[in-house]
């Protein structure tokens, strides 16, 4: 499990994974936006979380978070997001 940080790309470990993962969001003082990319350069908005949440996601090559759906580099305040890759059994 990893906690994502604003301004830093997270690369999930896809080896042995099912291609799926779980995200847990703890909403603090700001909404939290999750971004994804397959090439590490062009990011698209996956979802903006307006409340604390636990959700299944399809893993892509790179993830980022921000505190604004219009700005991938905006600080997320006290909001936090963790991601965990699902392993086959």
**How far is CA 29 from each of CA 17, 48, 73, 75, rounded to the nearest angstrom?**
33, 14, 17, 11
Could you tell me which of 5, 22, 4 has the C-alpha nearest to residue 59?
22
Q: In total, how many domains does the chain have?
A: 1
**Average pLDDT of the chain?**
94
Q: What domain range includes position 55?
A: 2-87
More confident residue, 31 or 85: 31
Could you tell me which of 63, 49, 54 has the C-alpha nearest to residue 13?
63
Query: What CATH number should be reported for the domain holding residue 69?
Result: 2.60.120
Q: What is the pLDDT of residue 31?
A: 98
Confidence of residue 86 (pLDDT cuts 50, 70, 90): confident
pLDDT over 70 at 85, yes or no: yes
Confidence of residue 15 (pLDDT cuts 50, 70, 90): confident
Is-contact 79 26, C-beta < 8 A?
yes
């Amino acid at each position: 499990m990893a906690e994502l940080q604003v301004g830093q790309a997270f690369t999930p470990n896809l080896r042995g994974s099912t291609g799926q993962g779980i995200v847990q969001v703890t909403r603090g003082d700001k909404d939290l936006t999750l971004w994804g990319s397959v090439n590490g350069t062009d990011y698209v908005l996956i979802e903006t979380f307006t409340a604390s949440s636990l959700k299944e996601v399809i893993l892509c090559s790179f993830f980022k978070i921000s505190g604004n759906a219009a700005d991938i580099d905006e600080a997320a305040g006290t909001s936090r997001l963790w991601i965990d890759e699902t392993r086959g059994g």
